[in-house]
A = this chain, B = another copy of it.
Amino acid sequence: MAQEPVTVWTRAERGARGRLPAHSRADLTAVAVELADRGGLSAVSMRQVAKELGTGQASLYRYVSGRDDLLDLMTDAVAGEIDLDVPLHGDPVADLVALAARAKAVHLRHPWLPDIPPEPLRLGPRGVDYLEYALRAMASVRLPGPAKMEIVALMSALVAQFARAEIQGSRATTDRQAAQAAYLSQTASQGDHPHVAAAMAEHPGTAPAEDPQRLFERTMRRVLTGLVVDDITAAGVEDVETPAAHDAQGTRDAPEAHEADPRDPTVGKRPEQ
């Protein structure tokens, strides 16, 4: 009995027979995003949305199969805020970094984004557009499709990570946060964790705080540069030997060789979240 579609994206917004709806999915979405922006994701409850919309909560289920659908809609809506009309420069890394920067801006505007339960594959129309753009940026890269997908996923994960750090840095510290930090420093001062103690002591009182934007772009560029290089050209040798344990800086880049076996397992991506 041809059960109806599972995702919002394939389910028709409304039937053609009955009385015309008083609202639309876009309305729900707008209200939900607004609520989330104001009071966090937990403020987005069916009752609240209904109240804000001036309707009964049961009515919402005429537009949406459940709260999950609402989250899908919200996610895709904010994904649509990323400007995809920026022309590509031609350098995959640079283009992706720029894209990531714009994505991060959206994260900063909607801090609840990382709080959305990480369903595998939450991809609406705008999300697909985003994915298309990212893949287009990598058009010149010689990598199997799934590998590119995975790069996009990793990129998104990093964007979320950076956004979180930035938000946390700007927002006032909560009690819990302070308590956690206190516990950490106390533990460090116990003597059993010299490296942690050193790393924390190294932090001068006032934070010189390099421009977050620069830091972000630099890190992003490095990571992406490491990922985007295709395997054929990056052929090298496995590192075998062991350098001295405390050489000045023991980090040498040892590009590892690996058969350029294309295709990889399933790709868990969630480009925009």
Contacts and interface: CB of A to CB of B under 8 A. Distances in A.
Copies held by the complex: 2
A54 to B, nearest CB: 31
A195 interface: yes
Interface in A210-231: 210, 212, 214-215, 218-219, 221-223, 225-230
21 contacts: A9-B183, A10-B183, A90-B244, A91-B246, A91-B247, A128-B184, A128-B188, A131-B193, A135-B196, A141-B251, A145-B200, A145-B201, A161-B263, A165-B267, A203-B257, A209-B258, A210-B261, A229-B243, A230-B244, A233-B241, A240-B253
A258 to B, nearest CB: 5
Given A10-B179, A261-B164, A268-B164, A239 B253 contact: yes
A120 B168 contact: yes
A157 interface: yes
Interface string A129-168: 1011001100111101110111001100110110011111
Contacts of A153: 161, 165
Nearest to A219: B227
Contacts of A202: 144-146, 262-263
A165 B226 contact: no
A7 B196 contact: no
A7 B5 CA distance: 45
Given A90-B246, A154-B158, A165-B261, 4 more contacts: A141-B251, A164-B268, A165-B267, A215-B256
A222 B226 contact: yes
Interface in A182-214: 182-184, 186-188, 192-196, 198-204, 207-210, 212, 214
A94 interface: yes
B131 A242 contact: no
B261 A199 contact: no
Contacts of A253: 210, 214, 218, 225, 229, 239-240
A141 B250 CA distance: 7
A261 B181 CA distance: 11
B268 A249 contact: no
A196 B125 CA distance: 12
A212 B260 CA distance: 12
Contacts of A221: 251, 254, 256
Given A121-B177, A157-B160, A259-B165, A92 B240 contact: no
